[in-house]
Structure 1
């Protein structure tokens, strides 16, 4: 069940990376054009092939961008954190959604209709340029994923995904990275196209080798990021 609608706030939009550097007047206008919602955890926002071109800005919370095969197998593309946006592909090309999106925790979302989003890009060249760079980065990430799924075994695909998570979390001066919260084994499996049991075995093997360490129920520490990178590079032939 959705909580009461949050107040429109240009301050909340300052957390959105796409809007970094915009002045108060610009943010005030965007905030006034947005629809605002506070959404409970595990709430679907839209599904693959559904109509609608709203672009969502995640002011707080976390969502998962995923889809399902004909047999019901989940394939996860990524988890989006506060400060990110999603839904822009349908706004740009007018086509149905290409994935499902569901909240992972209580989230505050602002959304712009497709016409309002396109008009904003036209009047804000800084945001338009940033959008092009974001889309370029998305193509590069998807290309890398396709190459991994086509050429690497499950073990190396998991190593590569853990390495991405480590760099996203931030590598510390002692060459460690703290992934918090760490994805569930089933979620990792859906990202690298395997099953939960294989992920569990490989994580156990990395833990025995001393490259991973569990902290509590939700935290995974990569104890040697460079060693993990070397494992991936060795198989890729980098």
Structure 2
């Protein structure tokens, strides 16, 4: 079922497209809501579509051979996902799950392919996303090679942070469980590490924003120049 065309204005990938094109795309789209932890895209599915997140938050995850979850990336409102399978027609490389109650719209794969291949600006945006995703995954592989979970947490916080006023912050803050699967640690380990960092005034939480008060300290611990602080 088609979706209202005005919703497409929320998606950065579709910026500057003519109204006629947006109307056509809207006619090929459908929306769906997901409960928290519900699977949005499965590695096993064979019907593909390009997804756009309207509300909520998604997380790309995969699993090790012994069944442990590994978090790969987040998808925030206005962002798109599922582009790999649309481009190459292969099964998804990872699962995408709802990290919070979410609503997404999906563009049929054939229409998405035409959008990619017939519009150089859209193709450039998709390529930029793919290269950014490769860089994120490579950085995550390097992070997982660190021997100490506290080090991995420090590096992960720096990777998630963005400029915030005169400092750095993470917004919205992932749950301890979401961070745990990103750094291959237990939720309890992450909780204890957060408590230690807060005690030493390295981080400070304000609602759904986590301020990094001492990013240089996180960097020094992550790179092994300083030992992790004691609780």
- Give yes or no for TM over 0.5: yes
**Is residue 13–residue 59 contact of structure 1 (8 Å, CA) maintained in 2?**
no
Distance 1:213 1:151 in 2: 24
Deviations 1:168-227 (A, max 9, x none): xx3222x242x34422222111001122232223222211221112345x5433223344
Which residue does the alignment assign to 1:138? 133
Pair 1:30–1:193, CA change in 2 (3 A): same
Select the residue among 188, 195, 206 that pairs with 1:204: 195
**Is residue 4–residue 26 contact of structure 2 (8 Å, CA) maintained in 1?**
yes
1:48 equivalent in alignment to 2:43: yes
Unaligned runs of 5+ in 1: none
TM-fit CA distance, 1:154: 2.0
1:222 equivalent in alignment to 2:204: no
- For residues 1-238 of structure 1, what are the structure 2 equivalents within 5 Å? 8-151=3-146, 153-167=148-162, 170-173=163-166, 175-177=167-169, 179-215=170-206, 218-232=208-222, 235=225
**Is residue 176–residue 224 contact of structure 1 (8 Å, CA) maintained in 2?**
no
Pair 1:221–1:73, CA change in 2 (3 A): same
Q: TM-score normalized by structure 1?
A: 0.84
Q: TM-score normalized by structure 2?
A: 0.86
Distance 2:104 2:34 in 1: 8
Secondary structure, in 3 states, of the residue corresponding to 1:183?
coil
Unaligned runs of 5+ in 2: 226-231
Stretch deviating more after TM superposition (111-120 or 67-76): 67-76
TM-fit CA distance, 1:25: 2.2
Secondary structure, in 3 states, of the residue corresponding to 1:101?
strand
Secondary structure, in 3 states, of the residue corresponding to 1:52?
coil
Pair 1:41–1:193, CA change in 2 (3 A): closer
TM-fit CA distance, 1:132: 0.9
**Is residue 166–residue 225 contact of structure 1 (8 Å, CA) maintained in 2?**
no
**Is residue 57–residue 75 contact of structure 2 (8 Å, CA) maintained in 1?**
yes
Count of aligned pairs? 226
Pair 1:105–1:185, CA change in 2 (3 A): closer
**Is residue 34–residue 112 contact of structure 1 (8 Å, CA) maintained in 2?**
yes
What is the alpha-carbon root mean square deviation over aligned residues? 2.4
